[in-house]
Amino acid sequence: MVENVEMVAKPLKTMFEMQESLQNAIGAKRGTICPNTWQKKDVDDIYRVMAKESGYYMMSTITELFEMFEQIEKDNFQYTELVKFELIDAWHFVMNQILYLNVKPTEELSFYMDKARENIAQVDFVNHDLHHIVGQIVEAMGEIYQNTSYKMWKTYDKPKEDPAKLQELCDTFLIRFCTLFVVLGMNEQDVWNYYYAKNAENFKRQEKGGRYEK
């Protein structure tokens, strides 16, 4: 069972700070791109570089969502603790996508969860069809990257990134992703507990060289 950890006053802000700290630590160890690369002045085509890195985490998100479906089948279509951990793995990559685009949430976790609950109440999901919800999430991701300079082969007169537009799109993305938390029966405290546990595990992995068996 996941240990219950008292939720901080601003859990989403704190989760993003924890995730950013983890990614910066990994980047420093490996000498790779990390969120604080935005602070460097000597990176050529930084919008393109960061959009490409963010896109990597988009694919990682999709892979983890596939693994969530695999786990649901293994667990006889029950939303078990293992299923929720797979969703939290995807959540880590969601945050990475947003961090590498130099965007932060405008609201707290309760706002996005409440909006997700409203969406579920308004839409007639057949048994809360997870495939339909994931389709909406992928659509939201596609719109985000359509507004970034991710095409490495293309010459841009100026970066496509409009911070206000990306902020709006990322907020929509977060609402749609939080719909999965709601359908799996998770509340804000659950999201915090699962993330906290997984983040601690990820830091331990890095202390062991970043290698692990799944």
Q: Is 104 exposed, middle or buried (0-12, 13-18, 19+ CB in 10 A)?
A: middle
State the average pLDDT over residues 40-55. Answer: 92
- Give the span between the Cα atoms of 100 and 37, in whole angstroms: 9
DSSP string, 11-41: HHHHHHHHHHHHHHHHHHHHT---GGGGG-S
Task: Report whether 106 contacts 146 (CB < 8 A).
Answer: no
Neighbouring CB atoms inside 10 A of 22's CB total 19
pTM, full prediction: 0.92
Q: Is the pLDDT of residue 7 over 80?
A: yes
pLDDT digits (tens, 9 = 90+) for 125-174: 554 589 989 999 999 999 999 999 998 888 888 999 999 999 999 999 99
pLDDT category, 117, cuts 50, 70, 90?
very high
- Give the span between the Cα atoms of 207 and 93, in whole angstroms: 20
DSSP state of 106: S
Task: Report whether 192 contacts 7 (CB < 8 A).
Answer: yes
DSSP state of 4: P
Three-state secondary structure call for residue 117 = helix
Q: What is the pLDDT of residue 212?
A: 42
